């Protein structure tokens, strides 16, 4: 049993040793500068403007959730496309039903104005 898991254990130990070694090497050899931009909360190279506690509109989250929802649903089209010929007419009707439901949801959110960015 040990012979089976020894390579995995050795690889995990080697990865841990390399990770700790590189972190220690970075701490010992790394250059430390204390400039204005370095001491900011989020170092991005841009000077921050405004208050960090500003409210983000709920529209942003709604559009993000809708994007993820429709993106995940569209991912289901890929496996269907791969085995389209094997499924025959039954698979075609099932996927057509799926696409119709997807379009009904899309037109519903369009009608509600969820994608209008004011």
Query: Residue 107 pLDDT more than 90?
Result: yes
pLDDT value for 40: 64
38 CB neighbour count, 10 Å cutoff:
9
Query: Residue 24 pLDDT more than 90?
Result: yes
Which of 3.40.190, 2.60.120, 1.50.10, 1.20.58 would CATH assign to domain 2-112? Answer: 1.20.58
> Which two structure tokens, joined as six digits, stand for 1?
């049993």
Query: Residue 12 pLDDT more than 90?
Result: yes
Share of residues in the chain with pLDDT > 90 (%):
31
- The pLDDT tens digits of the residues spanning 26-83 come to 999 987 777 666 666 666 666 667 776 777 778 888 888 888 988 888 888 888 888 8
Query: Residue 98 pLDDT more than 70?
Result: yes
- Residue 14, judged by CB atoms within 10 A of its CB (0-12, 13-18, 19+), counts as exposed
Residue ranges of the domains in the chain? Answer: 2-112
């Amino acid at each position: 049993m040990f012979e089976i898991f020894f390579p995995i254990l050795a690889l995990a130990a080697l990865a841990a040793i390399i990770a700790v070694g590189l972190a220690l090497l970075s701490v010992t050899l790394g250059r430390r500068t204390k400039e204005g931009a370095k001491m900011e909360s989020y170092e991005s190279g841009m000077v921050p403007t405004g208050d960090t506690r500003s409210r983000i509109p709920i529209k942003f989250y709604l559009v993000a959730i809708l994007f993820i929802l429709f993106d995940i649903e569209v991912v289901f089209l890929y496996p269907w496309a791969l085995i389209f010929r094997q499924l025959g007419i039954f698979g075609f009707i099932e996927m057509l039903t799926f696409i119709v439901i997807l379009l009904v949801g899309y037109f519903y959110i369009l009608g509600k104005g969820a994608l209008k960015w004011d």
